[in-house]
Chains A and B, each alone.
Chain A
């Protein structure tokens, strides 16, 4: 009976320990993220002060983080209402982009891979996108081509957006809570 209880202890320990580790490593880069609307970023992950969760998640994924002195990456997997981004729908990204010397917007599938498409377009850079007169942006994502700034989603069930700001003051402030105003993401029409 003693031995049984001992093994029960070990089993609970292993299950809880490894389960917890797995959960914290597959969802983002640890607890030190900042959130702005549907967007999430981990400024600290790109510095020497990266916490063990960020370092473990990056090592497991085989990624190198964008260094904060270089820039900051914001990731969105849902729209502003919290619905997962669906590549079969028309999604509208609108508003201003935080201050940065350059930025790039990339659309990937749910597993982070680029989506093959006839237009060979996987994103926009700040010099090539068409801006509105007031300095804001309108970008449409969807399976069907349309005029204006259009990003093909290949009708994937899940997509993710990454907005990378380069040479930006965002995230450098000492308090990591003051998240910048990020563009809105609205799912407009679903088939």
Chain B
């Protein structure tokens, strides 16, 4: 019996290590993560509508059925991107995630304070390369710095009541996600 103590204690310690490692690598190994689900419905560097959630399922689990949404999967390898979205009467938001789902920036119609939200999305290198004497213009533009080259932009607008859904859908479809060149 005594000789079992060591394997049990060692096993528990090993179990703790396995647990920590597993939790840390799951975001990088998950095959059906949000990026993979979205990549199935859209191309890189373009806006695609996300189908509304229905009883048959949703593109992304746990998304709010009261919203109309669109997605843009970006790759900054070829240069910065321009994101634009006309706001609605109600709640409109743009949120940014890295390739592995870490949220890093979100803005809504009110924090943007204008009728069209326009953002320049770039990585830290591209931001550092912005011309210095451009300060005034830069202050005027909303620059979002992405911690990674690849990521996800989710564009969403609230549908106040069902009858307004088509109208809001048209507005969300007018959103843009393009490289300026």
Contacts and interface: CB of A to CB of B under 8 A. Distances in A.
B27 A59 contact: yes
Interface stretch (A64-72, A91-99, A177-185): A64-72
A18 B22 contact: yes
A13 interface: yes
A52 B100 CA distance: 12
B41 interface: no
B54 interface: yes
Nearest to A65: B103
Interface of B: 3-4, 6-8, 10-19, 21-24, 26-27, 30, 32-34, 36-37, 53-55, 57-58, 60-67, 90-91, 93, 95, 97, 100-108, 110-111, 152, 154, 158-162
**SS class, residues of chain B in contact with chain A:** mixed
Contact of B159 (A13, A58, A125): A125
B18 A16 contact: yes
21 contacts: A8-B7, A10-B11, A10-B14, A12-B11, A14-B15, A16-B12, A17-B22, A21-B19, A50-B103, A53-B23, A55-B101, A56-B27, A59-B101, A62-B36, A62-B37, A62-B61, A104-B67, A106-B66, A112-B61, A114-B55, A125-B66
A60 B93 CA distance: 25
A106 B64 contact: yes
A167 B156 CA distance: 13
Nearest to A50: B102
Given A12-B7, A59-B26, A125-B161, A167 B110 contact: yes
A64 B104 CA distance: 12
A116 interface: yes
Contacts, number: 187
B18 A9 contact: no
A128 B161 CA distance: 6
Given A67-B103, A114-B55, A62 B18 contact: no
Nearest to A20: B19
Contacts of A120: 162
Interface SS, A side: mixed
Contacts of B33: 59-60, 62
A63 B152 CA distance: 12
| 7 closest residue pairs by CB, A with B | A17-B18, A12-B11, A16-B15, A13-B14, A67-B106, A116-B55, A56-B26
Given A48-B103, A61-B61, A69-B111, 19 more contacts: A5-B4, A5-B7, A12-B12, A13-B11, A16-B16, A17-B15, A18-B19, A59-B30, A59-B100, A62-B32, A63-B61, A64-B154, A68-B103, A106-B64, A106-B66, A113-B58, A114-B58, A123-B66, A167-B91
Contacts of A50: 102-103
Interface in A26-67: 46-48, 50, 52-53, 55-56, 58-67
Contact of B66 (A58, A104, A115): A104
In this complex, which of B4, B17, B97, B101 has the most chain A Cβ atoms within 10 angstroms of its Cβ?
B101
Nearest to A109: B55
